[in-house]
Amino acid sequence: MIVVMKQNATGAQVANVLARVEQLGCRVHLSEGEERTIIGVIGNGRPLDRERIERWEGVERTVPILRPFKLASRDFHPQDTVVSINGMAVGGRQLIVMAGPCSVESHDQLLEAAWAVKEAGGCVLRGGAFKPRSSPYSFQGLGEEGLRLLAQARAETGLPVVTEVMEPQLVPLVTTYADILQIGARNMQNYALLHAVGKAQRPVLLKRGLMSTIEELLMAAEYILSHGNDRVILCERGIRTFEKYTRNTLDISAVPMLKQLSHLPVIVDPSHGTGKWRLVEPVSRAAVAAGADGLLIEVHPHPEEALSDGAQSLRPDRFTSMMRGLRPVAEAVGRTL
């Protein structure tokens, strides 16, 4: 960490900072410029509290040098993490397409979607049983009945299942039914939930919060990793900006940026990222071209009747055609689909 002293900081104030930093067990480097005195602080491995130091007399501000995440960082784990799910590898050469309806609505709806996903080449079935909705008057999901339908669809199609868990105390229940636990964007900083899935024996699909920086996403992953679960898949799903023609702004640069900063696999959700089904195909191609390890796509047999997010769901025939168009793009960047 670097401590920048105020322009008019006194010698006593500088001496005080030096002494206190050394009391914290750190070494210091003093550098006196014409306009500012700068103090380099060499840590002892424990994190330093910048805010506290910024309150000391004569200090203007502090500047962090190291990234705050460790377990999630490629610096400390240079090789790619590959997450294995029922024999499939997320983060390897093969792209993983997870698809299915936003909400599980009925046996027929789910099975129709699941078979369409499987036939088109998707390899994981997604579907929400517990739904976070911004209005208390919207459909909130089928709950455990939805989980049972997902398990049934898995039994019939052989597709592993990813579904969202929204509360720490529901982690054991959802773990019973799901192959991958999804943490939704609104819960990316629900620390009790991160703790709970960090203790679970399931891979976690961690969606970036719509208000979260890349660094905060990696810190959320750090929570899960630090509780002992090292099977974390990151998911870029669009951030909130001033642009209103799309539901969110999909941050395509986050894909290669995350791959450079971290060893964890990265997938992209173009359905939530754009909010418009007409944009899902071109943005899916972009995600694969940018180096994503997979996709999360909303597919609904009858989007115009969907109980949630119909506007961003693909019909099965369009999903099939999208998958067909994706294959040459995958090959162009050295991947298979």
| Interaction residues for a copy of itself, span 263-302 (CB under 8 A) | 273-274, 276-279, 282-283, 285-291
Residue 314 is which amino acid?
Answer: L
User: Look-up: residue for tokens 């929204």?
Assistant: 166
Residue 270 Cβ vs a copy of itself, minimum distance, rounded to whole Å? 8
Instruction: Enumerate residues 135-174 that contact a copy of itself by CB under 8 A.
Output: 135-138, 140, 166-169
Residue 154 Cβ vs a copy of itself, minimum distance, rounded to whole Å? 25
Q: Given candidates 205, 252, 264, 297, which one binds a copy of itself under the rule CB under 8 A?
A: 252
Stretch that binds a copy of itself, among 59-67, 82-90, 92-100, 110-118 (CB under 8 A): 59-67
Residue 213 Cβ vs a copy of itself, minimum distance, rounded to whole Å? 5
Torsion angle, CA of 329/335/336/337, rounded to 10 degrees? -60
Residue 259's Cβ-count burial label (10 Å; 0-12, 13-18, 19+) is buried
Stretch that binds a copy of itself, among 112-120, 144-152, 156-164, 210-218 (CB under 8 A): 210-218
Stretch that binds a copy of itself, among 85-93, 121-129, 154-162, 306-314 (CB under 8 A): 306-314
**Interface size with a copy of itself, residues (CB under 8 A):** 111
Residue closer to a copy of itself by CB (options 124, 307) is: 307
- Residue whose C-alpha is closest to residue 97's, from 290, 320, 334: 320
Residue closer to a copy of itself by CB (options 84, 138) is: 138
88 belongs to the binding site for a copy of itself (CB under 8 A): no
215 belongs to the binding site for a copy of itself (CB under 8 A): yes
Token pair for 148: 């049972």
329 backbone dihedrals φ, ψ, rounded to 5° = -65, -45
Residue 282 Cβ vs a copy of itself, minimum distance, rounded to whole Å? 4
- 8 Å CB contact between 142 and 128: no
C-alpha radius of gyration, the chain, whole number: 23
- Residue whose C-alpha is closest to residue 173's, from 130, 123, 226: 130
82 belongs to the binding site for a copy of itself (CB under 8 A): no
Residue 158 is which amino acid?
Answer: G
Residue 316 Cβ vs a copy of itself, minimum distance, rounded to whole Å? 14
Token pair for 115: 């078979």
Residue closer to a copy of itself by CB (options 32, 108) is: 32
Q: Given candidates 65, 93, 176, 324, which one binds a copy of itself under the rule CB under 8 A?
A: 65
Q: Given candidates 31, 84, 86, 336, which one binds a copy of itself under the rule CB under 8 A?
A: 31
Instruction: Enumerate residues 94-113 that contact a copy of itself by CB under 8 A.
Output: none
34 belongs to the binding site for a copy of itself (CB under 8 A): yes
Q: Given candidates 115, 216, 318, 321, which one binds a copy of itself under the rule CB under 8 A?
A: 216
Residue 266 is which amino acid?
Answer: V
As a whole number of angstroms, the distance between CA 157 and CA 86 comes to 14
Residue closer to a copy of itself by CB (options 159, 326) is: 326
Cα–Cα–Cα angle for 83, 188, 185, rounded to 5 degrees: 90
Instruction: Enumerate residues 9-28 that contact a copy of itself by CB under 8 A.
Output: none
Q: Which helix (H) or strand (E) holds 271?
A: helix 270-274
Cα–Cα–Cα angle for 285, 92, 260, rounded to 5 degrees: 75
312 backbone dihedrals φ, ψ, rounded to 5° = -110, 5
